[in-house]
């Protein structure tokens, strides 16, 4: 039973990695900045922790710290 559950979990991880890569590639292709972790999590329907974990597995790190405030007129 555990082997089957682990296999299903690994398929889910690979699928989510692909979805994350496709989403980030879409942003880059349009010339937009990479979305925040919370924006990615909301769009993919995953938790922020899971998105951070998937980014780490893919070797894609997000900028650390709070985003800079932009000066708006």
Query: 10-53, pLDDT tens digit by residue?
Result: 778 888 999 999 999 999 999 998 888 899 999 999 899 999 99
Q: Is there a domain that residue 27 lies in?
A: yes
Look at 68 and 45; give whichever has higher pLDDT: 45
Q: Is there a domain that residue 16 lies in?
A: yes
Q: Is there a domain that residue 67 lies in?
A: no
- Domain housing 28: 2-58
Computed from CA positions of residues 13, 16, 22, 23, in that sequence, does the dihedral angle turn out positive or negative?
Answer: negative
Q: Is there a domain that residue 63 lies in?
A: no
Q: Is there a domain that residue 29 lies in?
A: yes
pTM, 2 dp: 0.72
Specify the pLDDT at position 73.
56
Q: Is there a domain that residue 73 lies in?
A: no
DSSP letter, residue 45: T
Q: How many domains does the chain have?
A: 1
* Residue 61 reports pLDDT greater than 80: no
Q: Is there a domain that residue 65 lies in?
A: no
């Amino acid at each position: 039973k555990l082997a089957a559950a682990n296999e299903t979990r690994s398929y889910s991880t690979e699928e989510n990695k692909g979805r994350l890569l496709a989403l980030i590639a879409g942003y880059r292709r349009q010339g937009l900045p990479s979305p925040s972790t919370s924006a990615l999590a909301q769009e993919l329907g995953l938790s922020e922790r899971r998105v951070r974990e998937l980014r780490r597995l893919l070797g894609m790190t997000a900028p650390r710290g709070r985003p800079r405030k932009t000066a708006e007129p």
